[in-house]
Amino acid sequence: MNRNLLRQVVIKTLPVMTGYVVLGFGFGILSENAGYGFWWVLAMSVFIYAGSMQYLMVSLLTSGASVISTALATLMVNARHLFYGISMIDRYKGAGAKKPYLIFALTDETYSLVCHGDTPEGVNPHLYYFLVSLFNQIYWIIGSVLGAIVGSAVTFNSAGIDFAMTALFVTVFVEQWLTAKNHIPAAAGVCITVVCLLIFGGDLFLIPSMILILAALSLGRPVFGKEIQS
C-alpha cells in the first residue's frame, strides 16, 4: 500500500468526509443531550453505522421503545440497503477476507462512491473499495464522537450544513446522467420515488418506491437491457 493510493482515497472520499463529520457531529450532540454520551455514541457508530437510523435511534431510546419495534423501524428505514447489495454482488466477488467488512460498511454514501467502480489505475479494486469504506466509517466515528464530547460548546451557526449529503447525491446523479447510455433508469428512480412520497408520505414511501423501481426496471429489461449491458 503506498502513499499515492492513500492520497487518492482521501481525495475521493473528501465529500463524504465533509458530510459525515458534520452529520456525525449532529448525531453526537443529539445523543449526548438525550443522555447517551461518548460510549453509547461510539458503540452505535461502530456497530450500527447507518446515519438516519442512528438519528432515529436516539428517539427510540428516549421514548422507551421495545426491541421488536426497534427492529421493525430499522427494517423500514434501512430496507434500501438490500438494493446496494444486489448492485455490488459482481463487484465484490473475490474480495476474500475484505468482503465481510465491505458488505457491513455499505452505507448510502459509500455506495454512491463505489457503485461506478472507477478504481484508480493499477490498484487492486477490492483494496481500493476497502479503504474507501474504512475511511468513510472512520470519518463517521470521529464526527459523532466529537459531537458527543464538545457538542454543547459550539456557537457557530451550522444550520443547513447537512445539505452536504443531498449535494453529494445530486452530484453523483448528474455525473451518472452525463455518462449513462440510457436515462430511463435514473428518471424512473426519481419519478417513482416522488409519486410514492406524494401518495404514502415521508415515513412510508421508501419500501413502495423500491418495489416499484424493481418492477419498472424488470419490465424495462427487454426494452433497454441489451443497450445497457453491451
CA distances from 13 to 43, 75, 221, 224 (A): 23, 28, 33, 32
39 Cβ contact list (under 8 Å, min separation 6):
none
Site string for other proteins, 142-171 (x = CB under 8 A): ---------------xxxxx-xxxxxxxxx
Cell of 26: 449532529
Residues in region 36-65 near other proteins by CB under 8 A = 36, 40, 43-44, 47-50, 53, 57, 60-61, 64-65
Comparison of 150 and 170: residue with beta carbon closer to other proteins = 170
Taking the least distance from each CB to other proteins, the nearer of 122 and 160 is 160
Residue 36 grid cell: 447517551
Which of 33, 91, 142, 207 touches other proteins by CB under 8 A? 91
**Residues in region 113-132 near other proteins by CB under 8 A:** 115-116
Count of residues in contact with other proteins, rule CB under 8 A: 95
Written as nine digits, the cell of 15 is 465529500
* Stretch of residues binding other proteins (CB under 8 A), selected from 2-10, 77-85, 122-130, 138-146: 77-85
Nearer to other proteins, 1 or 225 (CB): 225
Can residue 89 be called a binding residue for other proteins (CB under 8 A)?
yes
Nearer of residues 2 and 179 to other proteins, judged by Cβ: 179
d(CA 201, CA 198): 6
In the complex with other proteins, the residue whose CB is nearer, 9 or 168, is 168
Instruction: Work out the angle between the directed axes of helices 3-33 and 125-150 (0-180°, nearest 10).
Output: 30
For the bound state, the minimum distance from the C-beta of residue 181 to other proteins, rounded and expressed in Å, comes to 10
How far CA 109 is from CA of 52, 112, 140, in Å, comes to 12, 5, 11
DSSP state of 174: H
Q: Which of 37, 84, 142, 208 binds other proteins (CB under 8 A)?
A: 84
Contacts of 141 (CB under 8 A, 6+ apart): 24, 42, 45, 46
